[in-house]
Amino acid sequence: MANEGVAMSCKDLEQALPFYLYDELPADERAAYEKHLESCPACRQTLEDSRRLHEVLAHRPRIEPTPELVVHCRQALDEALDREQLGWRALLRSLPHLFSFRLAGSGALAMLTLVLFGFGLGWTLRPRSSALLDGGKVAPSLEKSDLGTPELGHISDISQVAPDPKTGEVRITVNAERRVTLEGSLDDPRIRELLVGAVKSYDNAGIRRDTLDILKQRSDNPAVREALLHAMRNDPNAGLRLEALKAVAGMEGQELHQALLDVVEHEKNPGVRFAAVDALADHVVRDKDNAMLPALEELARNDPEGYVRMRSASAVHALLGDAP
Amino acid sequence: MDGTCLELAGKFPAEGSRLVEADERELIRRAQRGDRAAFDALVRLYDHEVLRLALKLVGSPEEAQDLYQEAFLKVYRSLALFRFDSRFSTWLYRVVMNVCLDHLRRQKGRSEVQAPSNPESDTEYFQTVADERPELNPERSLKGREIAGRIQSALAHLNPRERMVFELRHYQGMKLRAIGELCGTSEETAKNCLFRATQKLRVALADLV
């Protein structure tokens, strides 16, 4: 039903309705719209229907990426960027050789093809886990003699650490004086001791990663907690330091804050360092740990990384209660 | 750009925006010179919001991760071309929008929808989404999930540009002008997309209104 004598017709109103609801109408059109509404019950009804549609649309659940997904995305991007850089470097390295050999056009092309094929093959066949975990760093050879239990004696090798999803127990296969498989829960001190020892000193990154996955379920145990913090600070593998950092994220207390600060101050890998400053800022603010203020202020002022300065300054502001 | 993209970028640190901008500019310059740590820092400034948007548009974490990676790789490859003519956030989100639009178009091309239309599988689709309304009783919660499934299904039937514009205007609260700028189109086109999206949703969800 159209009303005579108003600036907008019912048809105009229908066209303008979404923009009225989203506050996207210019002031004069908005005023005309509201004037028309006063005298048009049909358009008021249409507006009400649209408001109800908005209410229905509000039922869509809030979708938030989990912290695990964020970390996973960052790690995958990190790998992809490594490949990207490696690819260009390999190509650039190969070019001077191509030209110095002064190969004929077809020969140069064949050589370039071989270089690219070789790079592609090498990349395809690379050990995935070590590319992910080692970040180009070679794990120092550690003394396996650090490992052992009174009943098994010296353990020469750990070949598997695996959780049993059905029973919640852990299966550890070790080569001691003979090959032995131990099974038990993390409540078993023998199992726990072995895993704590493995995560702190074993030289196989894959076994350390599996062990970390299991140990992080029991971060309430002091020995496990200490092992996780140790791994976060000292594991030779950047990927595992990051895993350990994720594992300790559920803990609390000044010991954790200090450990995170150590990582921010001494870590060389930017990915781990940024994750550490994120965790440090979140924990310190949440726990209102004012003892960390001087260290955070120092980071906010002098850290060479802009991101670390920003996160630290943000935490300082939040602690001082003057966050915007 | 009126700072809408900065709002979209979410949590910015507490020092004034001038310091943040100065730091960001420094990070960009270093990243343009090949400093990986600086690029990582830039990624961390924006990646949470990029991932959240991707997740909302495609629903599945795996696809969202693909979009995340594709978008930031494109940013990495073309960072040298950024000339500080616009805000970095505008430039970055334009890349992200293009990647998302291409993905939605490919999805449409494969005649796939983001959310299943089968109500039983709706439950599976939303199982990763936390129910934030614990006060609801199970019956109401079930009803809520059904409605959520219907909404997602209706959104999935919009065309990619309508889907994008509606997501940014309705759920992210961006102004149409900024959306037009981000999507590389005019405000008028964004307006038309929003109008068509609203009409389609009104029809698809008529029985719930």
Domain ranges of chain A: 10-57, 71-126
Instruction: Please state, in angstroms and as integers, the Cα–Cα distance from residue B11 to each residue in A34, A211, B6, following that order.
Output: 37, 35, 9
What pLDDT digit, counting tens, does each position of A8-30 carry?
888 888 889 999 999 999 998 89
What pLDDT is stored for residue A53 in this prediction? 93
Tokens of A90: 């390999």
- Candidates B19, B17, B114, B116; CA nearest to B58 is B114
Q: How far apart are CA A18 and CA A3, in angstroms?
A: 20
Going by pLDDT thresholds of 50, 70 and 90, the confidence category of residue B77 is very high
Q: What is the pLDDT of residue A159?
A: 66
Our CA-based measurement puts residue A230 at a distance from the nearest CA of chain B, in whole angstroms, of 24
Residues B172/B207, Cβ–Cβ less than 8 Å = no
Three-state SS across chain A?
A: CCCCCCCCCHHHHHHHHHHHHCCCCCHHHHHHHHHHHHHCHHHHHHHHHHHHHHHHHCCCCCCCCCHHHHHHHHHHHHHHHHHHHHHHHHHHHHHHHHHHCCCCHHHHHHHHHHHHHHHHHHHHCCCHHHHHHHCCCCCCCCCHHHCEECCCEECCEEEEEEECCCCCCEEEEEECCCEEEEEECCCCHHHHHHHHHHHHHCCCHHHHHHHHHHHHHHCCCHHHHHHHHHHHHHCCCHHHHHHHHHHHCCCCCHHHHHHHHHHHHHCCCHHHHHHHHHHHHHHHHHCCCHHHHHHHHHHHHHCCCHHHHHHHHHHHHHHHCCCC
Please report the pLDDT score of residue A101 as a whole number.
Answer: 38
Output the CA torsion A99→A103→A105→A110 (10° steps).
-100
Residue B160, strand partner residues: none
The pLDDT value recorded for residue A60 is 86
Kindly indicate the confidence band of residue B181, based on its pLDDT and cuts at 50, 70 and 90.
confident
Question: What is the average per-residue pLDDT within B110-129?
Answer: 40
What integer is the mean pLDDT of A94-117? 41
**Which of A35-44, A85-94, B5-14, B20-29 reaches the highest mean pLDDT?**
A35-44
Average pLDDT over residues B78-97: 90
Q: Tell me, what's the pLDDT at B90? A: 87
Percent of chain A with pLDDT strictly greater than 70? 70
Which residues of chain A lie closer than 8 angstroms to B130, CB-CB?
61-62, 64
* Chain A CB contacts of B35 below 8 Å: none
Task: Please tell me which residue, A121 or B169, carries the higher pLDDT value.
Answer: B169
Interatomic CA distance for residues B133 and B113, integer angstroms: 27
pLDDT at B73: 95
Alpha carbon of B34: minimum distance to chain A alpha carbons (Å):
10
Per CATH, the number for B1-113 is: 1.10.1740.10
In sequence order, the β-bridge partners of residue A157 are A175
Amino acid making up residue A229: L
**Candidates B15, B61, B151; nearest CB to A59:** B151
Selected residue of B125, B147, B174, B202 to mutate for chain A interface (largest A Cβ count, 10 A): B202
CA atoms of B27 and B82, how far apart (whole Å): 13
- The pLDDT value recorded for residue A50 is 92
Most confident of A168-172, A198-202, A215-219, A280-284: A280-284
Give pLDDT tens digits for A116-165.
Answer: 334 333 333 333 333 223 333 323 333 333 454 545 555 556 767 777 66
Compute the distance between CA of residue B87 and CA of residue A309 in angstroms, rounded to an integer.
Answer: 21
Instruction: Report the Cα B30 to chain-centroid distance in Å.
Output: 27
Residue among A273, A242, A282 nearest A75 (CA): A242
Average pLDDT over residues B128-149: 61
Looking at this protein, which amino acid is placed at residue A138? Answer: V
Residue A121, Cβ density class (10 Å: 0-12 exposed, 13-18 middle, ≥19 buried): exposed
Which of A222-226, B127-131, B161-165 has the weakest average pLDDT?
Answer: B127-131
| Residue B128: predicted pLDDT | 38
Give the residue from A254, A225, A260 showing the smallest Cα distance to A242. A260
pTM (two decimals): 0.52
The pLDDT value given to residue B117: 40
pLDDT of A91 reads 53
Angle in degrees, CA A276, A281, A283, rounded to 5: 95
Please report residues of B whose CB lies closer than 8 A to that of A270. 36-37, 40-41
pLDDT at residue number B1: 39
Contacts 24+ apart (CB under 8 A), B90-97: B90/B1, B90/B5, B90/B181, B90/B182, B92/B46, B92/B50, B93/B5, B93/B8, B93/B50, B93/B182, B94/B181, B94/B182, B94/B183, B94/B184, B95/B71, B96/B50, B96/B53, B96/B54, B96/B67, B96/B71, B97/B164, B97/B182, B97/B183, B97/B184
Give the three-class secondary structure for B42: helix
Please list every residue in chain B whose beta carbon sits closer than 8 Å to the beta carbon of residue A54: 170
A233-249 pLDDT tens trace = 888 888 888 888 988 88
Q: What is the mean pLDDT of residues B57-68?
A: 90
pLDDT band at B127 (very low <50, low <70, confident <90, very high): very low
User: Is B52 near chain A, with CB under 8 Å?
Assistant: yes
Residues 92-131 of B with CB under 8 A from A: 126, 128-131
Is the pLDDT assigned to residue A264 strictly greater than 80?
A: yes
- At residue A310, the pLDDT reads 87
Whether residue B73 and residue A274 make contact (CB cut-off 8 A), yes or no, is no
Q: Which residues contact B55 (CB under 8 A, 6 or more apart)?
A: A63, A64, A65, A69, B61, B64
Domain ranges of chain B: 1-113
Is the CB of residue B145 less than 8 Å from the CB of residue B123? yes
Distance CA A90, CA A303 (A): 33
Calculate mean pLDDT across residues B58-74.
92
Mean pLDDT of B18-33: 81
Q: In Å, how far are B8, B68, B145, B178 from B132, measured between CA atoms?
A: 22, 25, 12, 30
For residue A12, how far is the Cα from the chain centroid? Answer: 50
Top pLDDT among B135 and A283 is at A283
Q: What is the pLDDT of residue A152?
A: 53
Q: Who wins on pLDDT, B102 or A138? A: B102
d(CA A237, CA A132): 10
Question: CA–CA separation, B183 vs B179, rounded Å?
Answer: 6
Question: Which residue blocks in chain B are alpha helix, DSSP H?
Answer: 4-8, 17-32, 36-58, 61-78, 88-109, 119-125, 138-156, 160-166, 176-182, 187-204
Give the C-alpha separation, A18 to A302, whole Å. Answer: 50
